[in-house]
Amino acid sequence: MDLNKWWIHRSSLTPDLEPRPGAKKSLALPGATAHNLPAEWPLREVTMFRHLSVRRSSRSDRAPAVVVLVCALALACAAEPEPAAESEDDLTSSTALARTVTFTGVVYVENASDWAILDAAKKQTRSAFGAFREATVAVNERELAAVDASKFVKTAMDVLDPTGKVVKKVTRVQYTYTDTAVMPKSFASRSSLSLGLLHGSYASQSARILKECTTNDKHAQEMQGEIWYVFNPSLTSCKNAMAAEQQAIDADRAKLTSATTQVPLSEANRLYVPMTARFSGKKTNSGKSYPEYDRLWAGGVAKGRLVMASVNGMLADWHAGSSNELIDDEGFHEWYMQLRPVFQARAGWKLASVEPAEDVLSYTVGGKAVKATDFFNLLQWELDGTGWPAGVTTSAHKRELRVAVGKKLYQKWLRFELPLKVKIGSAAEQSVILTYDTYFGAGGSGVPHKRAIKNSDIYVYNGHSYIGYGPLDPGNFSNADFPSSYQVFFIDSCVSYNYYEKDFFKLKSGGSQNLDLITNGLETWTSGSGEALGKWLAAITGSKFPSWLDLLVVAQIPYAYSFGGDALRVVDGELDNKWTPAKPISIK
C-alpha cells in the first residue's frame, strides 16, 4: 500500500493548509498511519478499517476535508436562523460542540416487510456516516443504526416507466433520524448542512459512486467495498451528479397523473437522495468538572494502589510480504514517548515485574553480553541515542541492540511502581503505590484489553479502532469484565466516540457514576500521540488536580487541526462527579 500518494501527516499542516516549514510528512516516518489499520488483517478487511485523515488529492475541488468543508458549506447554512438552545449540558470538550442532529430520508422498498424496510433505512443512514465524517461532524450512534421504525411514514406507490406503464409496486418510506453529534465549535451558529444519502442497493453501484462522490484516489478505491465510508456528497462532482439525477427525476415526475400514488422509475431506482442535516441545541458542558480524584487515590481495583494501565497497539501499515523489525513500527516509538513523561513527572519509579518473565536488561550484541543500567537506560538508547553500553559504538551494533530490546518487550506486561503518601481531606495519611502497567504490541486480540480494564483505575488505549469491530467492540465485553469501582477510560483511536461511547456506559455497573470516558469524534493521529498521552497520565496522577477541560488540553497536539489540537475529543460521564478542589488532596 503506497502511502506516498495520499497521506500527509497532520503536523505538516498549518490552518491555511500549507506545509509547515521544515515539517515532516508521515511517509518520512516508518509506518506512519492514521489510528485504524490492523496490519495483520487481510486486504478485504484492511480496506474496511483504514480511516481517512488529511489527504492529498489531484482534484481541483478537493482540499483536505477536515479543514475546508467547514468553510465550503458555510454559505449554504449561514442564512438560516438558529433554533433555541436546549438547556441540557452533556459532554466536556476543548474543541467540540455537542448538538442534536436531525435529518429526513426516504427509501423505496419492494416486498416491503417490516424487516426489509428497516434494513433499507439502516443501509441509507449508514451512508450518512461518510457524509458527516467528511464534513467534520461525528455522530454518537454507531454507524447511525438507531432508526426509529415506529415513526416510518409508508405510502403504497405504483412505479411507472417513461412510457407510463406500471412496472412494479413499491412502498415509499419516509423516516426522521435523530442523534447527538459533535462538531467544531465554529459550527455554533449553524442550523444545517446540505449533504446527501445513498439509496437502494448502492453497493452494486460502487464504481459509479467511487467516480462521482469520492476522491477516487488509491484510498477510496481500496474502500470501494465499503463505499458508504468514503461517500462525500460535498464534492463538486457529487453535487453535479446529484443535481443531474434530480433533474431527470423531476422531468419524469411531470408526466405523472398522481403525485401521491405514482412514482417514476427513475426515482424508485435513484442512487442519491439530497439531505439537509439540521442542528439544534448546544449540549456541551460549560462549567468545570473534575475526575473523582478522591476515589482514584483511595484505591479502587486494589487496596493501597492507584493503577494505570496502557495498551499500545502496532500502528504500521507494512506492505504485504515485507519484513520489518518491531522497532520500526511507529507504535513502538510512540509507546516509548508515552512512558517518558510519566517517569519524568516524579522521581523514584522502579520496574517491579515483567510478565511473562523476561530479563529485559540483558542482551548480546556482536557476540558480547551487554547490560542496561536500568529500564530508563532503554529509553535513552531508543529516544536519545545515548547511554550505550561500553563497546556498542557502531550504528550496526546500536541497531542490533535496539532490535533485540524491541523483541524482548513485545507483548510483555511491564509493571512500574512508585510509593507515595496520600492524604485525602480530613482522613489520615495513607501509603499508596502508584502503579503503571503497560503493554506494547496489541493487535486484534481482546485479551490485553480485558486484563487492563478489569485491573486498572485508569485505562488508556493508543492504537487502531478497527471501525469498532476489533478487540474493543463492546459486544466482546460483559458486565463481568469491569470492576465495580470508579474508572477513567481514554480510548485514543479514530472515531472512538461513535464506536464505543454509548455502549461502555451500559456495560459498566453504575454507568456514568462509576465511569468517565474520553473518546475522539474524528480520525486522530499517531505521531505525537504517545507523548501527549504520557503527559495526560502524568497530569491526572499529579499533584495539581486539573479539571477535565484542562486535562483535555494537556493531551492535545497543538498543530493537529485548524479548529484545535485534538480530533473533536470529548469527556462523558463527568457531570455526576462530586469531587472539587474544596476537598484537598496532598501527595508526597
β 305-313/458-462 pair status: parallel
Predicted TM-score of the model (pTM): 0.83
Q: Closest by alpha carbon to 374, among 387, 361, 363, 384?
A: 361
Cβ neighbors of 580 (< 8 A, separation 6 or more) are 290
Q: Which residues of 149-184 are buried (b: 16+ CB within 10 A; e: fewer)?
A: eeebeeeebbbbeeeeeeeeebbbbebebebbbbbb
Q: Which residues of 59-84 are buried (b: 16+ CB within 10 A; e: fewer)?
A: eeebbbbbbbbbebbeeebeeeeeee
Cβ neighbors of 84 (< 8 A, separation 6 or more) are 280
Q: Closest by alpha carbon to 572, among 291, 295, 297, 301?
A: 291
Q: What's the rounded Cα separation, in Å, for the pair 447 and 455? A: 12
Q: Closest by alpha carbon to 282, among 83, 70, 73?
A: 83
Residue whose C-alpha cell is 531508543? 382
According to DSSP, residue 384 is labeled: I
Instruction: Give me the helix-helix angle, 330-345 and 529-540, nearest 10°.
Output: 30
Query: Following CA atoms 292, 297, 300, 304 in sequence, which dihedral angle do they give, to the nearest 10 degrees?
Result: -170
Residue 352, all three cell numbers: 517491579
Instruction: Mark residue 510 as left, alpha or beta (left: phi above 0; alpha: psi -120 to 50; beta: remaining).
Output: left
Q: What's the rounded Cα separation, in Å, for the pair 151 and 147? A: 9
Cβ neighbors of 174 (< 8 A, separation 6 or more) are 104, 105, 106, 152, 153, 155
Residue whose C-alpha cell is 449508514? 126
Residue 568, all three cell numbers: 473533536
Q: What is the pLDDT of residues 527-547, one digit of tens each?
A: 899 999 999 999 999 999 999
Residue whose C-alpha cell is 469491530? 469
Q: Helices H, strands E: what count in the chain?
A: 17, 18
Q: What's the rounded Cα separation, in Å, for the pair 353 and 351? A: 6
Q: What's the rounded Cα separation, in Å, for the pair 571 and 520? A: 9
Give residue limits of the domains in the chain. Answer: 1-46+287-326+420-588, 61-280
Contact 540, 574 (CB under 8 A): no
Kindly report the backbone phi and psi dihedral angles of residue 287, in degrees, each rounded to the nearest multiple of 5, phi listed first: -100, 180
Count of C-beta atoms within a 10 Å radius of residue 361: 17
Residue 400, all three cell numbers: 542490533
Angle (CA) 500-505-508 rounded to 5° is 120
Q: What's the rounded Cα separation, in Å, for the pair 222 and 51? A: 11
Q: What's the rounded Cα separation, in Å, for the pair 11 and 356? A: 37
Q: What is the pLDDT of residues 334-393, one digit of tens each?
A: 999 999 999 999 999 999 999 999 999 999 999 999 999 999 999 999 999 999 999 999
pLDDT tens digits in sequence order for the chain, 588 residues long: 222 222 222 222 222 222 222 322 222 223 333 343 333 333 223 323 333 333 222 222 222 332 222 222 222 232 333 333 333 447 999 999 999 999 999 999 998 899 999 999 999 999 999 999 999 999 999 999 999 999 999 999 999 999 999 999 999 999 999 999 999 999 999 999 999 999 999 999 999 999 999 999 998 998 899 999 899 999 999 999 999 999 999 999 999 999 999 999 999 999 999 999 999 987 888 789 999 999 999 999 999 999 999 999 998 876 555 678 999 999 999 999 999 999 999 999 999 999 999 999 999 999 999 999 999 999 999 999 999 999 999 999 999 999 999 999 999 999 999 999 999 999 999 999 999 999 999 999 999 999 999 999 999 999 998 878 889 999 999 999 999 999 999 999 999 999 998 899 999 999 999 999 999 999 888 889 999 999 999 999 999 999 999 999 999 998 778 888 999 999 999 999 999 999 999 999
